[in-house]
Amino acid sequence: MCQEIGHTFGLDHQDENFNNANLGSCMDYTSDPTTNQHPDPHDYEELRAIYESHDDSTTSASQASAPNLPPPAMSEIDFEGPGQWGKLVRSTRGDRLQRYELDFGGGHKIFTFVIWANEEDRGRGKPR
């Protein structure tokens, strides 16, 4: 369950070889899961890299002093492929994990997190 939740938050496997020594992370494939039941420091570093980085000086919604309604265009986006996801702002793990940012100004942004499952899909804009 820990590994599946990690994937949901954007983490990738640290190692996919069942025969290697355990890394002590639930994001590691293993033949003996008793030692790989929780995230390790590397997993937390990856989560910080995904969620704590702020590339601008805008305030968060909880810090805004007045209501700031999103522009209507935000609800009219077609997210069918990378051309509509905005600017690629982060890529890790051999480009398997990517974060795109579509900035509408005024602090209104849409972030798209992509986990590419298949090498051949990456060039065709078909995330899994």
Q: What is the pLDDT of residues 6-24, one digit of tens each?
A: 888 888 888 888 888 888 9
Residue range 27-66, pLDDT digits in tens? 998 888 888 889 998 888 888 888 876 555 555 544 444 4
What pLDDT score was predicted for residue 103? 86
pLDDT tens profile 72-92 = 777 777 777 778 888 888 888
Euclidean distance between CA atoms 35 and 22, whole angstroms: 7
Residue 66 has a pLDDT of: 44
111 forms beta bridges with: 101
Per-residue pLDDT, 124:
53
